[in-house]
Amino acid sequence: MISFYERQKRRDDLLAALRQEVGSNATDLPSCRKLVALLEEDRASLEIVRIAERAFAIDPFDVGMRRSALEAYRKTGDKAKVLATLDQLLRLDPTHTLDYQLQRIETLCDLERWAEAKKETIRLLEETPYYWEAQKLLLRLVERDAGSRAGRVSSASSAGTGEPLPGRRK
C-alpha cells in the first residue's frame, strides 16, 4: 500500500500507512526514514523524535536519522538530547566534525556551561586556527566573560565600603 500511495501522491494516506507500518513492524527502517522525511515537511518534531528513537533501535549508526533527530530535539528544546546527539554524530560522521563541534559549543552556551564552551572553543581553534565561526564564538564568550566581571566589579565598588578594590587606586 505504501508504494501505491507514493505513486498516487496521496500524502495523507501515505502518512497513515507509514505510521501503521512503523507501529506494527519494529524492523522497518526504510519506512521510518520515509515517515521522518514527511514529518519534517510538516514540522512534527515530537513525532520525529519518537520515530527516530525507534529507528535507532534498528540501526544505531544511521547518520541521516541522527541528523533528523538532532533538528527535532532542537525544535522541542531538549538541549541535553541535542548535546548527546552531537556527541554521537561526532563519532559517526567525521566528515562534518567542525560543524558538529561548533554546534556543540553553541549548545553548551545555551545551557550556560560557559567554562566548558570556552575550553572547547579554544581546543577547536588550536586544531583549526583560521576557522572564523569559532573565532567569532570565542570573542562572544570573552566579551560575555568581561561583561560579567565588569558587573561584579561595579556591584562590589558600589557596596559602600569606600575602600578601593584590590589592584585599584582611589
User: What confidence score (pLDDT) does residue 155 get?
Assistant: 53
Residue 40 lies in a domain: yes
Number of compact structural domains in the chain: 2
Q: Cell match 557596596: residue?
A: 159
pLDDT along the chain (170 residues), means of 10: 77 88 90 94 94 95 97 96 97 96 95 94 93 91 79 53 42
Q: Which domain holds residue 107?
A: 93-151
User: What confidence score (pLDDT) does residue 46 get?
Assistant: 96
Kindly state whether residues 16 and 63 are assigned to the same domain: yes
Q: How far is CA 120 from CA 16, 19, 115, 123, in A?
A: 44, 40, 9, 5
- CA geometry: angle at 98 spanning 73 and 120, to 5°? 85
Domain boundary among 24, 45, 78: 78
pTM, whole model, 2 decimals? Answer: 0.78
User: What confidence score (pLDDT) does residue 10 get?
Assistant: 84
Kindly state whether residues 1 and 66 are assigned to the same domain: yes
User: What confidence score (pLDDT) does residue 148 get?
Assistant: 72
C-alpha cell at 103: 554546534
Residue 88 lies in a domain: no
